[in-house]
Amino acid sequence: MKLLEADLLFDGEDWQKDIRLEIDNSGRVVRCLPAQGGVTRYRVVIPGFVNSHSHCFQRAMAGFAEISFEGKNSFWGWRERMYGLVGGLSEQDFFKICRFFMAENLQSGYTTLTEFHYFHHEANGLPRVPRDLLCLHLIENAKRAGIRLTLLPVLYMLGGFGKTALKEQQAFLMNSVADYLEFLDGLSPKNSDSFLCGMAIHSLRAVSHEALKELFSNTTHQKIPIHIHIAEQELEVLECQKFYGKRPVEWLLQNLPVNEQWSLIHATHVNALELSGMACKNVVAGLCPITEANLGDGVFPLRDWFDWNGKISIGSDSNIRLDPFEELRMLEYGQRLLYKSRCVAADRTQNSTGTRLIKSLYRGSSQSSGFKVGGLKVSDMADFIVLDANHPSVIHPEPETLWDRLIFSGSKEMIQDVFVGGVQVVSQGKHQDYHDALEGFSEVLLGR
Ligand SMILES: [Zn+2]
């Protein structure tokens, strides 16, 4: 049993003052009661964040795709550069990126990583030995770093609506749905309190209707997180309308058993009807504001989604930046630029913009990861961040505006200590493996 106390602790819904948490040996909160003294006491404590959408290997191209090429300055041009990265990465490079990335996530306040993993094979499509080798690298490094991992091996079969895959996509492909299910079967026995194997469909453009019907005709998908890239680009929406006669979210809701297990990643281009359908199915809107801005995707209609009391999660996606506070700030600022208004996420029931954002985020994060995280109440996993009480954005711990200050004037630099399941993994802003892992990551960058 572990005990801690805090002057101010956010439990996922409200700030609690002078509180004690009891954490059992499995890393869960088992009791919350008034502080009594005599144990370690912190000033300001918040739940850890879930990085709900990431492609780990893309960390190695952060900042390397900002050179302009005429006619290629779109998402699709960026994608070509990403294919180039895949062609140049060895399995050892992938291992080194994973090791660094896990430590960097924890230092950034992400205590759970949901990895949308489609880089399976050699660049020419030859399977690795064992064929889930890169998944094993992710699992091993997550375990070593102490981060919770929801791994989503991705089903990817086509190069576009009704099109065979390109040569550059060979590293991502599964031969059949049966092949994919066998792949999942190999990983699922590893499920534990800190690892969960879920399921991901790359996109409607990468998997046919027949394959999806086959996928959902068996029971593997029951009760695990299911993620999909759904409507990131306007061109994708147009192609879907041409091929299926429906918009992506519209088609998805009408044709697949969508429920609260689902996270719709980049539901950027949705209309009012699709948004209401998403809310009725209780899905999470998986948003990646920094990447969506970087790739010029567009702006998700957050105000309308909040009118439906919709849940959100955030992900670092292309990993150009790792900072949950910055993701939320970018999310709100995108809305302000769109509507030419301030405090867009706030409403009459919650007039603090930051608090409204964070409450929706913590609710969605737990649902999208499949772990009981994003809160510090009884039965939640004890994943939490201790903030530096002397940071200018944390000083003056008045709860009413604290989330506003953290999100709009703060950054991950406020993070002092990080705990996962009650175990300390970051101390004074640093993960113990960070410097060694950085050496390996530097070798990858310098070798390219
Ligand atoms: Zn993605």
Residues 21, 122 within the same domain: no
| Predicted local distance difference test score (pLDDT) of residue 351 | 95
Dist. CA 317 → ligand 1 center (Å): 5
Q: Would residue 444 count as lying in a domain? A: no
Residues 204, 325 within the same domain: yes
| Predicted local distance difference test score (pLDDT) of residue 84 | 87
Residues 143, 259 within the same domain: yes
Residues 127, 31 within the same domain: no
| Predicted local distance difference test score (pLDDT) of residue 181 | 95
| Predicted local distance difference test score (pLDDT) of residue 222 | 82
Among the listed residues 383, 423, 289, the one whose alpha carbon sits nearest the alpha carbon of residue 12: 383
Per-residue pLDDT of the chain (448 residues; tens, 9 = 90+): 999 999 999 999 999 999 999 999 999 999 999 999 999 999 999 999 999 999 999 999 999 999 888 888 889 889 988 988 888 899 999 999 999 999 999 999 999 999 999 999 999 999 999 999 999 999 999 999 999 999 999 999 999 999 999 999 999 999 999 999 999 999 999 999 999 999 999 999 999 999 999 999 987 778 899 999 999 999 999 999 999 999 999 999 999 999 999 999 999 999 999 999 999 999 999 999 999 999 999 999 999 999 999 999 999 999 999 999 999 999 999 999 999 999 999 998 899 999 999 999 999 999 999 999 999 999 999 999 999 999 999 998 789 999 999 999 999 999 999 999 999 999 999 999 999 999 999 999 998 7
The CATH number covering residue 67 comes to 3.20.20.140
Inter-residue contact 199 to 225 (CB < 8 Å):
yes
Distance of CA 376 to the CA centre of its chain: 20
Dist. CA 264 → ligand 1 center (Å): 11
Number of domain units in the chain: 2
Q: Would residue 56 count as lying in a domain? A: yes
| Predicted local distance difference test score (pLDDT) of residue 168 | 92
In the listed set 320, 339, 369, which residue is the last one of a domain according to the structure?
A: 369
Residues 54, 161 within the same domain: yes
Residues 275, 408 within the same domain: no
Dist. CA 229 → ligand 1 center (Å): 6
Dist. CA 39 → ligand 1 center (Å): 43
Q: Are strands 199-201 and 195-197 parallel, antiparallel or unpaired?
A: unpaired
Q: Would residue 296 count as lying in a domain? A: yes
| Predicted local distance difference test score (pLDDT) of residue 69 | 86
Rg (CA), the chain: 21
Residues 200, 74 within the same domain: yes
| Predicted local distance difference test score (pLDDT) of residue 105 | 98
Q: Would residue 65 count as lying in a domain? A: yes
| Predicted local distance difference test score (pLDDT) of residue 398 | 85
Inter-residue contact 41 to 76 (CB < 8 Å):
no
In the listed set 346, 369, 392, which residue is the last one of a domain according to the structure?
A: 369
Dist. CA 404 → ligand 1 center (Å): 28
Residues 28, 105 within the same domain: no
Distance, first Cα to last Cα, the chain: 48
Q: Would residue 129 count as lying in a domain? A: yes
Catalytic residue numbers, as ranges: 266, 317
Question: d(Cα 19, Cα 346) in Å, to the nearest integer?
Answer: 28
| Predicted local distance difference test score (pLDDT) of residue 407 | 98
Distance of CA 169 to the CA centre of its chain: 23
Query: Rounded to the nearest 10 degrees, what angle do helices 434-446 and 91-107 cross at?
Result: 140
Q: Would residue 442 count as lying in a domain? A: no
Inter-residue contact 7 to 42 (CB < 8 Å):
yes
Dist. CA 156 → ligand 1 center (Å): 13
Residues 306, 336 within the same domain: yes
> Which amino acid type is present at position 382?
A
Q: Would residue 121 count as lying in a domain? A: yes
Dist. CA 291 → ligand 1 center (Å): 9
Question: d(Cα 94, Cα 121) in Å, to the nearest integer?
Answer: 12
Residues 306, 402 within the same domain: no
In the listed set 322, 338, 369, which residue is the last one of a domain according to the structure?
A: 369
Residues 68, 15 within the same domain: no
Write the DSSP string, 99-116. Answer: HHHHHHHHHTTEEEEEEE
Residues 241, 292 within the same domain: yes
The CATH number covering residue 16 comes to 2.30.40.10
Q: Which domain, by its residues, includes 402? A: 2-46+375-434
Q: Would residue 446 count as lying in a domain? A: no
